[in-house]
């Protein structure tokens, strides 16, 4: 299919995109913003796209992604040039806008369907503070999150992370020694990993505050 045919198909199926552009802050902020942007993509039924070319995005995380975005949208890296060469009708349909969110994101209820109307939306800088969606009594997403998805402020970040990244035993096994130097439990590191990754074990999330 040509690019023109691909975009016509995108419009026909009403596919919309949410792109996370990495911020200039530290690794903790970047991961938080990555997960929260993914969260908003899920809530608004948009295809989530993000730039994987940052060294802090560890290889084990990239290998554990639950999808391969480059296979879905190989045109993204040259999007501006491609859109310029499309017909005017297609250009009008392929609207794009960048968004920034300031500190008011911690106390304002956003309706992202109304706030971000473009087909291609780019989130830049801070996108955190989405727990406000679940704690605010006036949030339009509160019922869906708390009742339908059974989320709460304590588990929502871990649930989102776990749905985006699924660590696989073969990938982790390459990164741990065959014999642990501190084998007090009587099991090797690989045996412990295999037990933890078993479907019979509940995943446990640990959140570490990395500083301001």
* Per-residue pLDDT tens listing for the chain (212 residues): 777 787 888 888 898 989 888 777 777 777 788 888 888 888 899 988 876 666 555 555 656 666 655 544 556 667 777 777 788 888 888 888 888 877 777 778 888 888 899 998 988 866 666 778 888 888 888 898 888 888 888 878 877 877 777 666 565 556 555 545 555 555 565 566 566 556 565 555 555 555 54
Tally of structural domains, the chain = 2
> Of 149, 166, 183, which residue constitutes the final position of a domain?
166
Residues 30, 111, single domain; the answer is yes
Strands ordered across the beta sheet of 17-20: 47-50, 17-20, 120-123, 96-99
Residues 59, 111, single domain; the answer is yes
Residues 182, 195, single domain; the answer is yes
Which DSSP string corresponds to 117-164? -SSEEEE-S----TTHHHH-TT-TTHHIIIIIS---TTTHHHHHHHHH
Tokens matching residue 176: 């741990």
Q: Is the pTM of this model over 0.85?
A: no
What residues make up the domain containing 129?
3-166
Residues 17, 38, single domain; the answer is yes
Residues 78, 89, single domain; the answer is yes
Sign of CA dihedral 74, 164, 147, 139: negative
Residues 194, 156, single domain; the answer is no
Residues 160, 185, single domain; the answer is no
Q: CA angle, 114 as apex, 111 and 116 as ends, to 5°?
A: 95
Residues 125, 54, single domain; the answer is yes
Tokens matching residue 52: 């994987």
């Amino acid at each position: 299919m040509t690019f023109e045919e691909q975009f016509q198909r995108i419009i026909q199926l009403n596919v919309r995109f949410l792109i996370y552009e990495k911020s200039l802050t530290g690794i903790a902020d970047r991961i938080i913003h990555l997960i929260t942007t993914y969260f908003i993509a899920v809530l608004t039924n948009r295809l989530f796209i993000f730039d994987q070319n940052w060294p802090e995005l560890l290889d084990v995380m990239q290998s554990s992604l639950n999808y391969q975005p480059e296979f879905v949208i190989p045109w993204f890296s040259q999007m501006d040039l491609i859109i310029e060469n499309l017909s005017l009708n297609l250009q009008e349909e392929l609207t794009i806008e960048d968004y920034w969110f300031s500190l008011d994101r911690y106390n304002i209820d956003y309706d992202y369907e109304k706030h971000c109307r473009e087909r291609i939306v780019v989130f830049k800088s801070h996108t955190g503070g989405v727990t406000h969606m679940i704690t605010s009594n006036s949030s339009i997403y509160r019922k869906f999150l708390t009742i339908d998805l059974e989320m709460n402020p304590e588990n929502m970040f871990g649930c989102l992370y776990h749905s985006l990244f699924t660590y696989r035993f073969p990938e982790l096994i390459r990164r741990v020694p065959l014999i642990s130097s501190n084998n007090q439990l009587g099991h090797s590191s690989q045996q412990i990993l295999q037990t933890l990754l078993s479907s019979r074990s509940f995943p446990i999330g640990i959140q570490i505050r990395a500083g301001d």
